[in-house]
Amino acid sequence: MEKIITDPFIIRGIIAGIAVALVSGLVGCFVVWRRLSYYGESIAHSSLLGAGIGIIIGVGVNFGVVFVCLCFGILFLWLQQSKSLSSDTLLGVIAHFALAIGIIVISFNKIKIDLHAFLFGDILTVSQSDIWGMYIGVIIAVTLILSNWSSLVLVTLDEDLAKSEGINPLYVNVLLTTIMTIVVALSLQIIGLLLITAMLIIPAATSRRLVNSPEAMVVVATLIGIFSVIFGIYLSVKMDLPSGPSIVVVSSTLFFLSHFFSLLAKKE
Amino acid sequence: MNSLISATNINVIKSGKAILKDVSIKINKNDFITIIGPNGAGKSMLLKCIMGFYKPNSGVIKSKINLKLGYMPQNLDIIKTIPIMAKKFITLKKKFDKISLKKVILETQIEHILDKQLSVLSSGEMQRVLLARSLLNNPELLILDEPAQNLDVSGQMLFYKLLQEIYSKRGLSILMVSHDLHLVMISTKQVICLSNHICCCGKPQQITNDPEFLSMFGNDMAQIMAVYQHANKEN
């Protein structure tokens, strides 16, 4: 077993998984606070189309994913302003439209893509250069969030209050969308597009009960994410399971445990 | 110049409907202006235009250079899902010194709830925390949007009393949207009655006799207010 874990493929997978956890804990807190989980899901759904287009044009999967997700993210942001239909309906329409074209595009004969790996993640596909790319993404996303931290929290609490103090909520929302897009692109190889939102929500939701400040929630969510990635990949290697679902099972178990213990603590 | 903000001939049209028609309002130093009006009268829109959140279709808004403005919303959009303590919220992204913070905490009587989570505060405590935040940068103008709507009657009275104290001690200007005219009568200097256009404005005692006010709020409201005025005089 020791041998398998120290295999370079697995080590790369774990290092890449930690990259995912470093951003998803941070961004996930905003997703939980602002109830954006469906928004995150919608961005993730458009990533398949991004991958397809990236391969067809020849710019590579990651670049295609970032570009297409960003376009859809901004489209969703615009749709959310609409009043005639509720935003979750509109998101539902566009997200599944994007997913449908994505599947059609990658089913073209000349594109050789492992759909299973895209949906559920496959750590064996992570290369050395992928890891460099991922950590560059992590540095960009974390820097953007930390340098705008108090503005982001204030807009989250109340948009009008933020406006009255000179913060432009649109700027903050576009920023958050950009970062969510980076997270989706990062997570695709490890978690798979079906489960990306889980990586955003579950560690943050688990952490919510344990802390009393926004900063602490981010730190605990990140730690939970890192633990889930390491333990999840260990399980997936040991039992030959897909990596994404294994990571999500670990983090969900932590969520239910924390829920259970906080209920017990309340009763006492 | 005494004027802090002046808005002249503001027009706002949204999906073909005139929300604000030719509304002009001027806020001077030490003013206490209360805007009343039925639902959908454009009260919040007027505040948004004045604070620059919304660009009116036509009209001019001029404000004093470097005007320090404090804004108190009705309630926060999100308080349940985010863990944040009252003290942290009050000081979030604010430039302040310790003395002003202490002063604000004393004024709004929130010392005992500073370490509580926002999600567990009662409505009255929440309003005082919101007020404290809006006062932290020593504003010249305080704008409040239905500040006491979520409170019960005794909570409302306490809140307006607190507001009155802050108004007279600090000598700032207040612009407020409120339905509780009978409760703010004592403090307010000028009432603006808004129903997409300005129906009437003046001192509280004056507007209760105004025919447009009577047609909008009916005789009952005027009588209730008369009672309060009477009680106030006796005091």
Dihedral sign for Cα B19, B131, A152, A248, please.
negative
The single-letter code of the amino acid at A8 is P
Residue of A nearest to B95 (CA): A165
Give residue A189's pLDDT: 83
CB A14 within 8 A of CB A183: no
Report CB contact under 8 Å: A34, B78: yes
CB A104 within 8 A of CB A53: no
Report CB contact under 8 Å: B92, A32: no
Band of the pLDDT at B79, cuts 50, 70, 90?
confident
Of B73, B88, B143, the CB nearest to A213: B88
The H or E element spanning position B62 is: strand B58-63
Q: Which of B145, B212, B197, B172 is nearest to B27 (CA)?
A: B172
pLDDT digits (tens, 9 = 90+) for A17-46: 999 999 999 999 999 998 888 888 899 999
pLDDT digits (tens, 9 = 90+) for B54-74: 899 999 999 998 899 999 998
Residue of B nearest to A208 (CA): B83
Report CB contact under 8 Å: B78, A151: no
CB A28 within 8 A of CB A135: no
Residue A250 has pLDDT above 90, yes or no: yes
Of B81, B83, B133, the CB nearest to A212: B83
| Shortest CA gap A212–chain B (Å) | 5
Band of the pLDDT at B235, cuts 50, 70, 90?
very low
Average pLDDT over residues B101-110: 94
Portion of chain A with pLDDT greater than 70, in percent: 96
Band of the pLDDT at A136, cuts 50, 70, 90?
very high
Residue B32 has pLDDT above 90, yes or no: yes
More confident residue, A28 or A111: A28
How far apart CA B35 and CA A45 sit, in angstroms, is: 47
Of A164, A208, A213, the CB nearest to B51: A164
Superfamily grouping for domain A2-267? ABC transporter involved in vitamin B12 uptake, BtuC (1.10.3470.10)
Give residue A9's pLDDT: 86
Of B71, B84, B88, the CB nearest to A161: B71
Question: With the CA atoms of B180, B183, B188 and B193 taken in that order, what torsion angle do they form, in degrees rounded to the nearest 10?
Answer: 30
Average pLDDT over residues B2-14: 92
pLDDT digits (tens, 9 = 90+) for B141-198: 999 999 988 888 888 889 999 999 999 999 999 999 987 777 777 778 888 989 899 9
Of A33, A208, A211, the CB nearest to B78: A33
Give residue B227's pLDDT: 59
Average pLDDT over residues A104-133: 83
What residues of chain A lie within 8 A of the CB of B83, using their CB? 208, 211-214, 216-217
Note the pTM of the prediction, 2 decimals.
Answer: 0.88
Sorted by where each starts, the structural domains of chain B and their CATH numbers stand as 3-68+139-234 (3.40.50.300)
CA dist B135 → A1, B85, B170 (Å): 62, 18, 10
Give residue A120's pLDDT: 86
Band of the pLDDT at A124, cuts 50, 70, 90?
confident
The single-letter code of the amino acid at B60 is V
Average pLDDT over residues A199-218: 94
Residue A187 has pLDDT above 60, yes or no: yes
Report CB contact under 8 Å: B93, A165: yes
Q: What are phi and psi of A81, to 5 degrees?
A: -75, -20
Portion of chain B with pLDDT greater than 70, in percent: 92
Name the interface residues of A facing B (CB cutoff 8 Å).
32-35, 150-151, 153-154, 156-161, 163-165, 167, 208, 211-214, 216-217
More confident residue, A11 or A76: A11
Residue B230 has pLDDT above 60, yes or no: no
Report CB contact under 8 Å: A165, B117: no
| Shortest CA gap A149–chain B (Å) | 9
Mean pLDDT across chain B: 87
